[in-house]
Structure 1
């Protein structure tokens, strides 16, 4: 046992290094800017029974969902059937996936003919078919409109690619070269993870399995210790989505946190029934929000699934957080962000040591495509950040991905190199953060000019109607806004989820929401950024 204790920290650090290098390798090799620049991808290593052992410090929106995805692969392909060089592919939300553009690759880690671990990657692909370029149609009402749905399949057998599967994938994508390039980047990531994890197991020797179990137990113990420091209680929070893309009626996200001793129940009973539009989030998607929240309770704990052991979660079947097939799900990002924000806000009511105002809870996903003047087709997707909520100790951060979001900025130079666009404005949206003693973080303003040809806009935003709430007397954040300013002077206002067409000379304006403030505005302090108050 002492040997295991001595090895725990070196193995923990080695595993974290492996998954972070998997992430970096995948991003360096990716073709699409959303993965290469935006970092909309993630990597992790699992034990053979599907327990999450280590995950990259990358995108929580994707990381938690790898847990049910790996479980879905194992149900179809048990480890005793796996050989070195195998790789399994899937994206089906009812088999453990998220939404259809997120392709998941899982590969066994072998040593002496035995599976000792599993390496997994997930990446948001530019296009996997469906009714709209980018495969995120904001007006979809059925998952079959959103793209190619893939249950777990064997994509590589002993390293050899199944060309029939690749033919099927490319036939359904508007950007087949990008799809294959990004898929190979995922293979590069899992291959690195398999090699390095196998080498770590050899260096660690017979104690490897026991050390991994000990790391999972340590994460559980630290999370339970954190829960025990909080008085028992129950706290609720409600938020709402600005419609579902089809109907403008608010979509309720309700959560109740019931903490007793070293255990916590996370109950989403009271959330709206599943919607016609695509804001539904499958249970595998919801796992990302739940894992992020549980990790936040003991952030110094090993970065594995041990933190989930003290938690029980309730996701009512047929609701927006557990829809039935064939619900549309491509816009589930807004649902996950508000669900995560609701958990953090409920926890802040009675359990957090430092009260927090609400984050904006917005990660605008924008998919733009079209045809150049010479007939060449183009397509790009990017994610735009918003504002963080303030706390009792300081202002909220502006222009940042919060909670389950962690996507990076896509540089203007990359956008203009890949698409016939000129970015007229990229700036902090001053004044959008809530006013208070400590102001909420401001959102972002982006203005795009279409230079040539015709194009389509798939816009997935949030907070056009609702606002991020302030805390302790602080003001709410400003809502989001989006519009197309036509070259002839007309202005078309976009709703929170919208599709539109535009032409050369038109401008697309995106303004994301601000975070809530903390403390009454009358007590606003003088700062270098705010010298007049």
Structure 2
């Protein structure tokens, strides 16, 4: 390949990232659910005809992006490319072929250019309510957790599957939002198709194959080069987290050798009877994200950069849950996995690895009935108010406060939450002193005090962790503060499970702080003075 061709391909690569960026922005701007509109809990990407992810939008969560990377292969198994027509679109929310639980819809759309199939656009977003017990961990099998959509055709050559849409509307407490979110997924893929056609016309190409090969080969080679510079060996790490009604132990073994990086979760606890189990695709998604952060953070995420990493977990373990295990709150365990990867890599790569953080999102998922301002009838509401704790301290840098890592979603603005449901936030501020002490300090959690504007109770679908087992410090650093869920009247609430909040009570949520890194005695007086002046301690 001559230098001119390589330059042309690099320009097209950058343009392709812009195409999927436009796809993602359309999804965000047209979505009905605040968790998509405000928090960007999505993924968007383009794939070649072999099902390889060529490019992803910068916006998106690892759990969606990296599991979507596998889901397109499942779509191709059910809908071979020779059967696809211009104007088709396909949908599923199967946790084992999608992104890990029923509340995520995945839509895949074939892209035709001048009558020829040239690629596939796929996207994912979180829908707030799809029936069943709701987005909480109470279910004892996936059938209790909501409407299940197998691999189906959503749109057939431009004609919407009205039977399927009627089923979706009927099986949700929020029919308008759920229908609107489904159409937003299909619409963003259509915009991606149009942008791709314009790009292909501009560069006068009629196939994406040479570009796909260039992107994937270059990315793979870049990651392999990074891995080749690492020490060879095997390292292990254990973590105990709260679990549902008993502690849950995760174990990982990480090997770096000539074939790449292998992470195996043999020894982790088996599936549990409540919905915090993790399908393997979601386990892989967050594991490879942790690997990418530590090993090759500057390499774009695509099928090539992912190919050098291998992830395994024993069938029947909590990290490879089989159907029909309950999986609704799979993020509770799955988002701990970058910390597991970091723990394994702390010995060979000590200058890159942070301490443990809160890791799993502290989403305040609420549900109930209310009469919105200006209305005269009672309506149902269901909302996930995205909140976060502190991240772990980093080598040379303190942890980030109230920041969603590894998820990356934005926190729900208070103003939006108070418009969407009858809750009022009396208090929302950093939790002083919650970050673990160390040479570098863990990020702070938050304190929130939440009441209701209605004289009726509301449901809290609790799915919190790091209450009994807080984020651990490393290399002599102190642990972060544990999380806490309680009522102002003094009653402690469980970290997981459906609980009723009385209308005259105030719900208090305290998210965990991140663990500290290095001995506290090594923290400079300048930093300690800054901590005091900033109100961190």
- Give TM class, smaller chain: over 0.9
SS at match of 1:265: strand
Q: Determine if the alignment matches structure 1 residue 484 to structure 2 residue 483.
A: no
SS at match of 1:165: helix
SS at match of 2:469: coil
Q: CA deviation at 1:30?
A: 0.9
Q: CA deviation at 1:241?
A: 2.6
Q: CA deviation at 1:365?
A: 2.1
How many correspondences in the alignment? 522
**Take 2:532 and 2:351, find their aligned partners in 1: how far apart are those partners?**
30
Q: CA deviation at 1:262?
A: 5.3
Q: What pairs with 1:426-465 in structure 2 (closer than 5 Å)? A: 426-452=428-454, 453-465=456-468
User: Is this contact kept in 2: 1:294–1:308, CA < 8 A?
Assistant: no
SS at match of 1:65: helix
Which residue number in structure 1 is paired with residue 268 of structure 2?
Answer: 271
**Take 1:106 and 1:492, find their aligned partners in 2: how far apart are those partners?**
47
SS at match of 2:345: helix
Q: Deviations over 1:443-474 (max 9, x none)?
A: 12222111102311101111011121212211
Q: What pairs with 1:188-227 in structure 2 (closer than 5 Å)? A: 188-204=187-203, 205-206=205-206, 208-227=208-227
Q: Deviations over 1:219-254 (max 9, x none)?
A: 10111111111110111111123122xxx2211111
- Larger displacement relative to structure 2 (76-85 or 521-530): 521-530
Q: Deviations over 1:173-192 (max 9, x none)?
A: 00000001111111221111
Q: Determine if the alignment matches structure 1 residue 291 to structure 2 residue 288.
A: yes
The 4+ residue runs of structure 1 with deviation greater than 4 A are: none
Which residue number in structure 1 is paired with residue 518 of structure 2?
Answer: 519
TM-score normalized with structure 1 length: 0.94
Q: Determine if the alignment matches structure 1 residue 17 to structure 2 residue 18.
A: yes
User: Is this contact kept in 2: 1:227–1:262, CA < 8 A?
Assistant: no
User: Is this contact kept in 2: 1:65–1:288, CA < 8 A?
Assistant: yes
SS at match of 2:347: helix
Q: CA deviation at 1:207?
A: 6.8
User: Is this contact kept in 1: 2:174–2:380, CA < 8 A?
Assistant: no
SS at match of 2:346: helix
Q: CA deviation at 1:408?
A: 0.5
**Take 2:444 and 2:283, find their aligned partners in 1: how far apart are those partners?**
27
User: Is this contact kept in 2: 1:471–1:519, CA < 8 A?
Assistant: yes
SS at match of 1:238: strand
SS at match of 2:223: helix
Which residue number in structure 2 is paired with residue 34 of structure 1?
Answer: 35
For structure 1, which runs of at least 5 residues remain unmatched after alignment?
A: none
**Take 1:95 and 1:215, find their aligned partners in 2: how far apart are those partners?**
25
Q: CA deviation at 1:289?
A: 0.8
User: Is this contact kept in 2: 1:470–1:517, CA < 8 A?
Assistant: yes
Q: CA deviation at 1:293?
A: 2.6
Q: CA deviation at 1:10?
A: 0.8
Q: Deviations over 1:464-489 (max 9, x none)?
A: 1112121221101111111133xxx3
User: Is this contact kept in 2: 1:451–1:505, CA < 8 A?
Assistant: no
User: Is this contact kept in 1: 2:63–2:99, CA < 8 A?
Assistant: no
For structure 2, which runs of at least 5 residues remain unmatched after alignment?
A: 372-376
Question: Among residues 383, 388, 392, which one is paired with 2:386 in the alignment?
Answer: 383
Which residue number in structure 1 is paired with residue 358 of structure 2?
Answer: 360
Q: CA deviation at 1:116?
A: 1.0
Q: CA deviation at 1:68?
A: 2.1
Q: CA deviation at 1:276?
A: 0.6
Which residue number in structure 2 is paired with residue 160 of structure 1?
Answer: 159
User: Is this contact kept in 2: 1:479–1:513, CA < 8 A?
Assistant: yes
Q: Deviations over 1:294-335 (max 9, x none)?
A: 432222223312112222221210111111211000111011
SS at match of 1:64: helix
Which residue number in structure 2 is paired with residue 116 of structure 1?
Answer: 118
- Larger displacement relative to structure 2 (353-362 or 406-415): 353-362
Which residue number in structure 2 is paired with residue 4 of structure 1?
Answer: 5
User: Is this contact kept in 1: 2:288–2:309, CA < 8 A?
Assistant: no
**Take 1:365 and 1:239, find their aligned partners in 2: how far apart are those partners?**
22
Q: Deviations over 1:337-383 (max 9, x none)?
A: 11121012211221354342112223112221112265332221122
Q: Determine if the alignment matches structure 1 residue 345 to structure 2 residue 343.
A: yes
Which residue number in structure 1 is paired with residue 374 of structure 2?
Answer: none
Which residue number in structure 2 is paired with residue 469 of structure 1?
Answer: 472
**Take 1:150 and 1:185, find their aligned partners in 2: how far apart are those partners?**
17
**Take 1:338 and 1:300, find their aligned partners in 2: how far apart are those partners?**
22
Q: What pairs with 1:117-132 in structure 2 (closer than 5 Å)? A: 117-131=119-133
Question: Among residues 363, 369, 372, which one is paired with 1:371 in the alignment?
Answer: 369
SS at match of 1:350: coil
User: Is this contact kept in 1: 2:342–2:353, CA < 8 A?
Assistant: no
- Larger displacement relative to structure 2 (260-269 or 217-226): 260-269
**Take 1:416 and 1:20, find their aligned partners in 2: how far apart are those partners?**
30
**Take 2:69 and 2:151, find their aligned partners in 1: how far apart are those partners?**
14
Which residue number in structure 2 is paired with residue 94 of structure 1?
Answer: 96
- Larger displacement relative to structure 2 (109-118 or 250-259): 109-118
Q: Deviations over 1:479-532 (max 9, x none)?
A: 1111133xxx3x332222121112322211111111111111122222353248
Which residue number in structure 2 is paired with residue 416 of structure 1?
Answer: 418
Which residue number in structure 2 is paired with residue 400 of structure 1?
Answer: 403
Cα RMSD (Å) of the superposition? 1.7
Which residue number in structure 2 is paired with residue 66 of structure 1?
Answer: 68
Which residue number in structure 2 is paired with residue 141 of structure 1?
Answer: 140
- Larger displacement relative to structure 2 (408-417 or 346-355): 346-355
- Larger displacement relative to structure 2 (346-355 or 466-475): 346-355
